[in-house]
Amino acid sequence: MSIRSSFLRNTLRWFVLGPDNSLEKMRTGLERFGRFTRRNVADWSEVTVGGVPAIRVTPRSEPSGLHILYLHGGAYNMGSPMSHLGLVSQIVSRLGATATVIDYRLAPEHPYPAAIQDCLAAYRALLAEVEPSSLVVAGDSAGGGATLATMVAAREAGDPLPACLYLLSPWTDLTLSGESHETKRSVDPLIPRAGIEGHLKLMDDMVDGYRGTQDAGHPGISPLFADLTGLPPMLVQVGADETLLSDSTMLADRAEAAGVEVDLDVAEGMWHVYQFLAPMLPESRTALDRAAAFILGRTATESQPDPTAVG
């Protein structure tokens, strides 16, 4: 691990979460972190897609014809298109793609299935604009879980599916059954340092806010337990030092068993959604370069940009 990554690791939790873990403070912290990671490498504007507010991020290079529906993370309780503008801009710049980042409804004000209803409405609206072969659905953390839940709902409804999925540290199991919740708690920089009890209390609060009256194991809430048959090829990137590591490794096993093409990319020494720090961290840039190559290999585009040519 580089000196720079060690420094960022040691300061990350304070920067994002601040001195306490109240939902209001965490919402503010994530927006602040989003501003910190933003660079002027793409353009954006406010739009509405399928009745859902969103931002549309556009490349400054010649558009490739590729379109990404991006579902932001934040444990379904926080986050916004603007908190993730920096990360999405880095992806857009590598692909010459256009991205739509939706502002789905958040818990606990709007529990399940509100977020997935918004994601599915936006996805269906994009299908009227973009050929499925040029469409990618991507998301980080809860947004990765929402990506899976939305695609399962689309498949069940008979909607066309996109060319591929890109999942960054997806939160797929809200029952918190993965062993990494215990084995990685001492090295994950984004969990409270109060020990496993404090970590699980925070996670339980987030889960309860999102699940509402439903069981956390409901496949629409925890898509790890959904039937994954027929889903598009997926790239799953996860840090080796995060408590959600098991959510990704178990997902890869289940997807492979269902006959889904899955590429699991575990980054040694990295943490939850480490790609956020692409402007500062070489490991993050390398991961996004790999993701761009994966996406370009599975989509129909008008041109083939150089995925490493990012300002």
Instruction: Give the active site residues.
Output: 141, 242, 272
Whose tokens are 């972190």? That residue is: 33
The whole-angstrom distance between residue 3's C-alpha and the CA centroid of its chain comes to 26
C-alpha to C-alpha distance for 113 and 210, rounded to whole angstroms: 9
- Closest by alpha carbon to 50, among 122, 105, 115, 101? 122
**Rounded Cα distance, 191 and 198, in Å:** 9
For residue 61, give every residue at least 6 positions away whose Cβ sits within 8 Å of its Cβ, in sequence order, or none: 93, 96, 305, 309
- The angle that helices 23-36 and 85-95 make with each other, rounded to 10 degrees, is 40
**Whole-angstrom distance, CA of residue 168 vs CA of residue 158:** 26
